[in-house]
Structure formats: C-alpha cells, structure tokens
Amino acid sequence: MFIAITILILGFVIATAYAFSNKEGGDKTFEERLREMSRDPETIDLAELELSKPFSERVIQPIIERISGLITKITPAEVLKETKGKIQQSGVRIKANSFVTLQILLAVGLPAVMAIMGVIEKIGGLKGVGFLVFAGLIGYFLPDIWLKSKVGARKAEIQRKLPDALDLLTVSVEAGLGFDMALNKVVEKLKGPLAEEFGRVLHEVRMGKPRRDAMKAMSVRVDSPDVSQFIAALVQADKLGVSLANVLRVQSDQMRLKRKQRAEETAMKAPLKMSFVLVFFVLPALMIVLLGPAVISVIEQLGDNKSF
C-alpha cells in the first residue's frame, strides 16, 4: 500500500512538473502563436488559442484560484492582512490568499495521506487520531515558519547591506548628484533586497508618488529599526530643509557603528554557544578516549582476581 501511494505521489509530481513546462503547445510557445495569429486576424481560433495555453494555466491555475476564493471568504480579514504583511517583508512573490490556501491544503492533505497509509490502524485509536491532528497542525504552521525564516533572513541581509548603501549614497550626494540619481546609483551598484526596495521607491516616485510617502511605505514593508531610523531622519531633513549630505553622513556613521556592535555581540555569544557543544559532545568523547583504556584494565584485573 505504501509503495503504491509513493508511486502515485511521484507520478503526480512528474505530471505537475511537465504541465508547468513550456512544451505544452508544441515547439512554439503561446506568445509566438499569438503573434502569428495577430498578423492574420482571420486565422484566429479562440478554441485553438485556449488549447495552446499550458495545462497549468488552463486547468491547475483556475482550480487553485477557485479554492483560494472559497477559502478567502471564510478567512478573517486580520489573518489575510497579517499574512500579506509577512509576505511583503519576506520578498516572496505570492498572494496572501494563495498562501493561506496552501496552509489549509497542507493541514488537510497531510493527515489525509497519513490516514490513507493506515496510521490509525498501526498506532491505535486515540493515539492515531492525535497523531493525525498533530500532522495537520504541522501542515498548517510549516509554511508560516518558513515564511518567518525568510523574513528574518531578509531583514538581516538589509541590515548588513545598509551601511554600505548609505556610504555610496553619501558619496554620490556629496559629489553633486540629486537624491533620486544617487539612489539610482545605489540600485545599479548593489544587489539584494535593499537594492530592490530602493528600486521600488524610485519606481513609485517616477509614477507620481511623493518621495516622502514612498520612503514611509518602504519603512513599513521592511519593518527594520535601522531602516525606520534612516527614513525618519530623511523625512525630518526634508521637512526642515536640512542638507541631505550631512544627514546621510551622520546616518552612515551610526549604521556602521551599529554593525560593528552587532558583530561584537555575536562574537561574545560564541563562547556560550560553544559550551553546550563542548559539554554534551566533545567532553564525553574525550573522557572515553582518556579513561576508556584505564577502565578496561581495571575490569580485566578485577576479573582475574575473581578467578583466583
């Protein structure tokens, strides 16, 4: 039974991977076929155009959207809002309702698969039901744990790159560039989530959004104390008409000092973390190596004495 279920799951994964490939429409992609039809409007066939789409867009995606719509109706708005905030902070490109749908599908699907495998029969009545409930909880909270880990890693990366970005921004402004041009230089030279956030700010400013509002929106998305402090200083300088070069220089020095203090704090925590490894892993092995031969000799001598 377990082998059959494994084969079915493997076949489903292979079929899904094949469905998401771009070979569904033959040698030509959907965009190429659409361009060819646009050159000759009389040859456009809506049925053929629909069938030329990948299987994932024709079948899988509508099913997921339908399930997401049903789940969104019964999901509290606060949960969706909180999930949307976490997704923005993590930088993952997924909709909030799709993420909640994934959580519920895992919470239902994981116990269902285990029930089909006969977990209740193997473990026992109440214990088996409890195990299935525990599996459902794992299926629900596992994506959330993964998302929180992505949020933490992205915040740490932004905090690590912020002093370098401020140094480059300060040099560019002091060289005579405007703030937007200097920000564009930072986006061009740096890579990572911080450059992506600065690029989004530039895009919003070019679309007509005030720079102050775009920077505040970035502060909300990132939700990092260092970024919030930097943006608050910029907004305050913009209100009071203070020179941005001086503000950027002060902020750059402060962020570099904070990064140094974090590195020193991490170095001070290292001995404490290493002590657990020494006590539970290194010392027992060392005691076995040092005292093992002596213990064996004592046991052999006691055995010889008993024989007399």
Structural domain count, the chain: 2
62 and 159 in a common domain: no
Structural domain including 36 reads 1-74
Is residue 230 within 8 A of residue 163, CB to CB? The reply is no
In this structure, is residue 94 part of a structural domain? no
What's the chain's length in residues?
Answer: 308
In this structure, is residue 200 part of a structural domain? yes
Radius of gyration of the chain (CA): 30
Is residue 4 pLDDT above 50, yes or no? Answer: no
Among 19, 49, 74, give the residue marking a domain's end: 74
CA dist 76 and 80 (Å) reads 7
Pair of tokens at residue 164: 């370098």
Is residue 111 within 8 A of residue 140, CB to CB? The reply is no
Q: What is the pLDDT of residue 34?
A: 52
In this structure, is residue 89 part of a structural domain? no
CA dist 215 and 234 (Å) reads 9
Kindly indicate the confidence band of residue 225, based on its pLDDT and cuts at 50, 70 and 90. confident
In this structure, is residue 193 part of a structural domain? yes
Kindly indicate the confidence band of residue 25, based on its pLDDT and cuts at 50, 70 and 90. very low
Kindly report the average pLDDT of the chain as a whole number: 78
169-205 tens-digit pLDDT: 888 888 888 888 888 888 888 888 888 889 999 999 9
Highest mean pLDDT pick, 24-33, 91-100, 212-221, 273-282: 212-221
Q: What is the pLDDT of residue 21?
A: 44
Of residues 57 and 206, more confidence is placed in: 206
Among 261, 277, 299, give the residue marking a domain's end: 261
Q: What is the pLDDT of residue 6?
A: 45
In this structure, is residue 119 part of a structural domain? no
CA dist 269 and 152 (Å) reads 19
226-269 tens-digit pLDDT: 888 889 988 888 888 788 888 888 888 888 888 888 888 888 88
